[in-house]
Structure 1
């Protein structure tokens, strides 16, 4: 099989996947939860105790951090770094990476929209009145690049170690930029993805003040409903997803199991509004078309679309318009996974890319949780009710963030 694509660039294989998410702490658990279209939103006691306007979120189910790091290491890091490190370790295990990789040819590319802000918030509340009582690890814990650097330190990856902050598109941006570095020979292997842990008093209250989140406090499991006629805002979630990306020929040479391939990537910016999308979807549609062109594919080659699908009125409406534009009125099946996990901010794009690839390989598209009727159903083919069986084909995965940050990936199942 060819090691290079039609443009002479190195092909990029996905050989490992690790997740720590509300849908499950392994890729298979998450896949089954998505197929069941089961919402993970639930009341969070600490939000109730602190009288936060929105009292629910999607949290990662308990797991054993001691299986991944020592108690001393755990004390030195915050939750977003913990989730990212554990997901990265699972991805490396899944990829069965050899121990003799050239360290300068391996790297980490990680996206986060919130980063260490929760640790900063907690430290300010606990120690703001006594500055000299600040914990000694305050700065390393709150640095936005801490998750990426901790991952690089854990595995001895000495190549490019970069953190991307493109709001809700951060995880997708990190995957796309990692693929670019491998394509052009800068890296042989990259751990790439996204992570965020934004369920805190300040962040949740800030989203509520913006009227961006759902306030269905009495029925949290029904709150995240992408594209639904009665949607009223997104649900905040936490989590991390990391993928091992490798140069295709090197992965084949070592006998790696290949989950699939990143074949296309593009990003652009609406340059329109700090939180609202360009309502006609034209810029997002251009990003989608560019990703397909980068993959050397036409819209007809796409088996399904994994929508950003936040469950907000304006974003879902604009994305439906963008999909309609990109596919010239011939929409493939469209799903949106945030009905299950809520919005993991910087972690969403990476998780959704990983699961979109799994769905494409299985030929199954999950139904959108909590969505039965939609005003957007007239322009896009929304998968509702039960999973849809489709041909095994490339999938287009969208991420659109605050600031008009658009990023799209094309992922193809392994032959």
Structure 2
């Protein structure tokens, strides 16, 4: 027998809000935080702005000991996970700790620490004075490990890595472990802290990011005919997934039910999505099939749409194939126009957005798009400029990662 899986807690630590309520308010109001780079001098880079978590002081959230032994990406994970666990209200003292696990997602891990330690060695006197915390701070799996250690969660524990699809990979795995009866609760989500000179410079060299340096606040323009790349963001999103009967028995507040998920591979290119969206279409079809939801019943799609010329168009072609290129009740928006692209954390915060859209019956907007790309199928209803108040019962969130990873998750009101 497969068990039902519900969401009982959420947390968000992002450039547009350091808690769930602020984050959601700014998403629905279409407020972005894109600004000139503050963390390092980017004046010689092609792109000179980002969506940063401004004035971040980890000691406001974590102990000095935890800060000393964690990279920035793990600190984001710990903060968001703490919020989600508090929001869920589950009491580990009343449970078997082996029934509660952590499955996290991250694309890059401790890039900042690796850069700093390497620079110190190269510019020093040649003696290797690496920190004993170097390896645990860099390892991608330490986000899930530290969440487990901090809260005493002794169940399944690992980190999924599939570039910008990492969060959805983690959510899908958590969903399946609970469905199969291998856990009662799993803390899941994702994070990245990729705004560092080498990471940022690498994306600049790929010409993947927008170069609207004079007007960064409008740089992320999904679906616009003049879109020119994504805006890099940072942060974390966390969700508590729980077996339905367990949640009911303890009187938990339930945000919604996770009813489907799927992954496919494009087998096409190391960075580009398939131009016709073949793999993306298949993943969405499989996720809806598992959810037992017809396309006519799907109310909202939070698109991966990063504001790149190729990526946005291929995704919309995939959605048009999903709908048979005909009008449906499906509304689409691209909230990276507001949040920036949180890389491995993107799927988690967009799953949260999708769930809150369902809770509040409001579809957040796609901002900054002024002239819709005529190549995007006319049959698709894209929500622009302002949030749309409408009944939202079923939602889907898309993520796609370098290497051809397509990860889709589906939620439903309960």
TM-score normalised per structure 1: 0.95
1:140 equivalent in structure 2 = 136
- Secondary structure of 1:368's counterpart equals coil
CA distance in 1, matches of 2:42, 2:399: 33
The count of residues paired between Structure 1 and Structure 2 equals 407
What is the CA-CA distance between 1:363 and the residue it aligns to? Answer: 1.1
Q: Does 1:28 align with 2:28?
A: no
2:98 equivalent in structure 1 = 104
CA distance in 2, matches of 1:179, 1:172: 10
**Within 5 A, what are the aligned runs for 1:33-72?**
33-48=26-41, 51-62=44-55, 65-72=58-65
CA distance in 1, matches of 2:273, 2:358: 28
2:214 equivalent in structure 1 = 218
- Report which stretch shifted further, 333-342 or 34-43: 34-43
Q: Is the 8 A contact 1:50 1:201 kept in 2?
A: no
Choose the corresponding residue for 1:243, options 239, 242, 246: 239
CA distance in 1, matches of 2:342, 2:360: 24
- Report which stretch shifted further, 292-301 or 328-337: 328-337
CA distance in 1, matches of 2:202, 2:54: 25
What is the CA-CA distance between 1:259 and the residue it aligns to? Answer: 0.9
What is the CA-CA distance between 1:402 and the residue it aligns to? Answer: 0.7
**Within 5 A, what are the aligned runs for 1:284-323?**
284-323=280-319
1:17 equivalent in structure 2 = 10
Structure 1 runs (4+) greater than 6 angstroms displaced:
none
Q: Does 1:125 align with 2:123?
A: no
Q: Is the 8 A contact 1:27 1:355 kept in 2?
A: no
Alignment RMSD: 1.4
CA distance in 2, matches of 1:131, 1:216: 43
- Secondary structure of 1:133's counterpart equals coil
CA distance in 2, matches of 1:173, 1:227: 25
CA distance in 2, matches of 1:188, 1:201: 41
**Within 5 A, what are the aligned runs for 1:13-412?**
13-48=6-41, 51-62=44-55, 65-100=58-93, 101-128=95-122, 129=124, 130-329=126-325, 330-331=327-328, 332-375=330-373, 376=376, 378-412=378-412
CA distance in 2, matches of 1:121, 1:50: 19
Q: Is the 8 A contact 2:61 2:79 kept in 1?
A: yes
Cα 1:377–1:27, aligned 2, differ >3 Å: closer, same or farther?
farther
What is the CA-CA distance between 1:51 and the residue it aligns to? Answer: 2.9
User: After superposition, what is the alpha-carbon deviation per residue over 1:14-43, rounded to whole angstroms, capped at 9, x for unaligned?
Assistant: 001011101201122111111111221111
What is the CA-CA distance between 1:225 and the residue it aligns to? Answer: 1.0
TM-score normalised per structure 2: 0.95
Q: Is the 8 A contact 1:169 1:399 kept in 2?
A: yes
Cα 1:93–1:334, aligned 2, differ >3 Å: closer, same or farther?
same
CA distance in 2, matches of 1:284, 1:105: 33
User: After superposition, what is the alpha-carbon deviation per residue over 1:209-243, rounded to whole angstroms, capped at 9, x for unaligned?
Assistant: 10100011111111111111110000100010011
User: After superposition, what is the alpha-carbon deviation per residue over 1:36-92, rounded to whole angstroms, capped at 9, x for unaligned?
Assistant: 112211111344356333211101244663353211221111100000001111111
CA distance in 2, matches of 1:395, 1:49: 38
CA distance in 2, matches of 1:180, 1:408: 14
Q: Is the 8 A contact 1:237 1:344 kept in 2?
A: yes
Q: Can you give the 5+ residue segments of structure 1 that lack an aligned partner in the other structure?
A: 1-7
Cα 1:43–1:388, aligned 2, differ >3 Å: closer, same or farther?
same
- Report which stretch shifted further, 292-301 or 324-333: 324-333
- Report which stretch shifted further, 222-231 or 326-335: 326-335
